[in-house]
C-alpha cells in the first residue's frame, strides 16, 4: 500500500547523513521540519531547524505538534502532528562522549520520539539503526562475522555501547508497532558515504581491504539513503520491519565469494551470493521496498585507472 504522507519531521537532519537525505526528500515533494541542536548546514536549502533536546520527552511531544516554519502562522489551523517521523538524531558513534551518556541519550531519544509519535497518532516512523549491531564494527579485537551475507535475520549480539543502544531502539520500535498497530521501520544503515568522499577515501579502501572489515566491505551513498527513506515512508502496512540500508555491491575489485574467502576465511557463507553482492546485503530493501541504487561507487572512483 502506498502512503500519501507529505509532512515529515526529521530528527538529526543536520548530521552527516541527514544533510543529504533531507534534500532528497525535498526533491520528492516532502515538507520537512528538522529537529536538531544545530542549524541545517546548507542555508540555501530552505530547511527550518527547531532546536530540540530529544532526551526531553516534553520537548519531543511539543516539537511534533509545532509549525514547520513561520509561514504556518498564516494558515487557518493550529499545527497538528506530521504524517511521518524519520528519527536519525543520536550520538553517531562511540567515543564522542562517555559510554553511559551515549547509551542514555540514544535510548532515551529513540524511546521519546517513538512514544510521542505513536501517542499523537503518527502511523509511519522510520528510525536509524546501524550496521554496528552485526558486532564487528566496534567490537573488541579482530572479530569475525557469524556468517555471510549479513541479513536482517542474522542473530546479533553486539558488545559495544553504541550498537547496544541501537539494538535497544529496534526493540522499542517492535513493541510500540505492536501496541499501536503502527508501521515502524528500522534501517540498519551502513557506512555513510558523502559525494566528496569517493575520491578521497576509496583508493585506500581498495588498496587496504582490511580497513573495511569493520564495515563488512559495504556502504550506503547518503543520497541513496534518501531514496530508501522515501520508499519506507511511502510503503504502508508492514508493521515492524528491519531493513539493511546499503548499496548493492562490495567495495572490492574481485567478486564477493572470492574476496570473502581470502579476507574473511573463518566466516561461513550461508547461501549463494550474487557475483558482486555486498556482504551486508540489501536484498530485502530491494525486494520489499523496490530500492534501485543510483550511486554505485564505481561511478565516482575507477580502481583500474
pLDDT value at residue 196: 97
User: Whole-angstrom Cα distance, residue 227 to residue 290?
Assistant: 10
* Residue from 264, 153, 287, 160 nearest 218 by CA: 264
Which of 300, 2, 256, 260 has the alpha carbon at shortest distance from 124?
2
Q: How far apart are CA 14 and CA 40, in angstroms?
A: 5
Domain boundaries, the chain: 7-299
- How far is the C-alpha of 43 from the C-alpha of 22, rounded, in Å? 13
Residue 204's CB is within 10 A of a number of other CB atoms, namely: 11
Average pLDDT per run of 10 along the chain, which is 305 residues long?
81 98 97 98 94 98 97 94 98 98 98 98 98 98 97 96 98 98 98 97 96 98 98 98 98 97 96 97 98 98 86
Nearest Cα to 123, choosing from 4, 286, 244? 4
pLDDT of residue 98: 98
CATH number of 7-299: 3.40.50.720
Give the pLDDT confidence score for residue 5 in this predicted structure: 64
pLDDT digits (tens, 9 = 90+) for 18-42: 999 999 999 999 999 999 999 999 9
Residues whose CB is less than 8 angstroms from the CB of residue 276 and which lie 6 or more positions away in sequence, other chains included? 248, 249, 250, 255, 256
In this predicted structure, what is the pLDDT of residue 2?
A: 67
Taking a C-beta distance cutoff of 8 angstroms, is the pair 244, 280 a contact? yes
CB 268 within 8 A of CB 147: yes
Q: Is the peptide bond before 158 cis (omega within 30 degrees of 0)?
A: no
pLDDT at residue number 304: 82
Amino acid at each position: 500500500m502506498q502512503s500519501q504522507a507529505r509532512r515529515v519531521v526529521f530528527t538529526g537532519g543536520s548530521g552527516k547523513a541527514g544533510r543529504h537525505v533531507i534534500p532528497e526528500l525535498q526533491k520528492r515533494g516532502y515538507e520537512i521540519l528538522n529537529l536538531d541542536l544545530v542549524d541545517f548546514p546548507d542555508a540555501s536549502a530552505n530547511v527550518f531547524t527547531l532546536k530540540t533536546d530529544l532526551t526531553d520527552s516534553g520537548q519531543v511531544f511539543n516539537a511534533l505538534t509545532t509549525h514547520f516554519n513561520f509561514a504556518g502562522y498564516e494558515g487557518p489551523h493550529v499545527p497538528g502532528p506530521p504524517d511521518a517521523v524519520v528519527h536519525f538524531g543520536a550520538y553517531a558513534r562511540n567515543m564522542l562522549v562517555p559510554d553511559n551518556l551515549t547509551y542514555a541519550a540514544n535510548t532515551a531519544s529513540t524511546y521519546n520520539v517513538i512514544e510521542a509519535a505513536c501517542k499523537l497518532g503518527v502511523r509511519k516512523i522510520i528510525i536509524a539503526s546501524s550496521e554496528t549491531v552485526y558486532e564487528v564494527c566496534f567490537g573488541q579485537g579482530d572479530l569475525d562475522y557469524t556468517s555471510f551475507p549479513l541479513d536482517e535475520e542474522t542473530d546479533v549480539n553486539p558488545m559495544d555501547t553504541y550498537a547496544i543502544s541501537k539494538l535497544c531502539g529496534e526493540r522499542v520500535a517492535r513493541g510500540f508497532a505492536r501496541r499501536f498497530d503502527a508501521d515502524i521501520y528500522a534501517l540498519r544503515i551502513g557506512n555513510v558515504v558523502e559525494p566528496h568522499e569517493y575520491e578521497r577515501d576509496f583508493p585506500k579502501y581498495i588498496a587496504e581491504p582490511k580497513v573495511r572489515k569493520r564495515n563488512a566491505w559495504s556502504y550506503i551513498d547518503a543520497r541513496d539513503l534518501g531514496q530508501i527513506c522515501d520508499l519506507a515512508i511511502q510503503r504502508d502496512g508492514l508493521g515492524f520491519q528491519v531493513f539493511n540500508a546499503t548499496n548493492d555491491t562490495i567495495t572490492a575489485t574481485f567478486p564477493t565469494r572470492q574476496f570473502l574467502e581470502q579476507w574473511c576465511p573463518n566466516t561461513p557463507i550461508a547461501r549463494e551470493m550474487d557475483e558482486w553482492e555486498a556482504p551486508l546485503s540489501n536484498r530485502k530493501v530491494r525486494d520489499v521496498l523496490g530500492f534501485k541504487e543510483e550511486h554505485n561507487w564505481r561511478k565516482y572512483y575507477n580502481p583500474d585507472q
